[in-house]
Amino acid sequence: MSDSKVAVIPGGTGSVGRCLVPLLIDRGFNVAVTYLLPEEANALEERLDLDEDRLIMRRVDVTDAEATTAFVNEAAEAFGKINVMASLVGGWAGGRDVSETSDVRLERMLDMNLRTAWNATRAAIPHMSKHWGRIILMGSKHAVDTPAGQAAYNIAKAGVLALAKSVAVELLDTETTCNALLPSVINTDATRAALPYAEYVNWPQPDDIAQVIDFLASERSKVVNGSYLPVWGSALI
């Protein structure tokens, strides 16, 4: 079994993941990452330039429980254990009040945000019981302030918060903690394109979020458990 620290990052080629993975690598982690877009995976691989003894990248649909479990098991077998699982898969769809929200839109938000966090967390827990572990989930400011016109997203992210709290309580007798982050809209090309008239100057940057996850993904964060951490800075949305 390797003495290296090990992190599993579903959605690790997205905007936050591209900032987080190099931080973990610099701290000596072996990292396993899922992706959906090959161009994102290629860009991250080229940036890191690591062999598979340090970095595993797999194209996995994390809404698929069986595929997610297989990926997590592969990472644990290859690296010997899992210390950190940071679930970064998610997505937003708004512009509809509850009365106008289709079942398809609701299921999409639940799948992308809650089901992915559930699948990854459930798969990781069995590999995190014999050593220190950190589970980090991506909630949202909108899970607690629930703006109009995006109830499906708000509900899905509220479920992520409930999942984080439930797991933290279930694992109280272990050295594994579970916390959720509450970002506002993150300042990425995609969100600026989706909200072209929004005031994005104060939105948190992906690297800002990654820095907080990097701290939570350390033994130094052991007293932080079952929390919802605001990471929206001065953003109002």
CA atoms lying within 13 Å on the CB side of residue 82: 29
Asked if pLDDT for residue 236 goes beyond 80, the answer is: no
What is the rounded distance in angstroms from the CA atom of residue 106 to the CA atom of residue 62? 17
| Total-model pTM | 0.93
**Which of these, 8, 19, 10, 4, lies nearest to 186 by C-alpha position?**
19
> Thinking of the domain 6-230, which architecture would CATH place it in?
3-Layer(aba) Sandwich (3.40)
Percent of the chain past pLDDT 70, that is, above it, reads 92
Contact yes or no for 204/186 (Cβ under 8 A): yes
3-state secondary structure of 145: helix
Burial of 93 (0-12, 13-18, 19+ CB in 10 A): middle
User: Residue 84: what pLDDT?
Assistant: 98
User: Residue 74: what pLDDT?
Assistant: 98
> What is the maximum alpha-carbon separation in the chain?
54
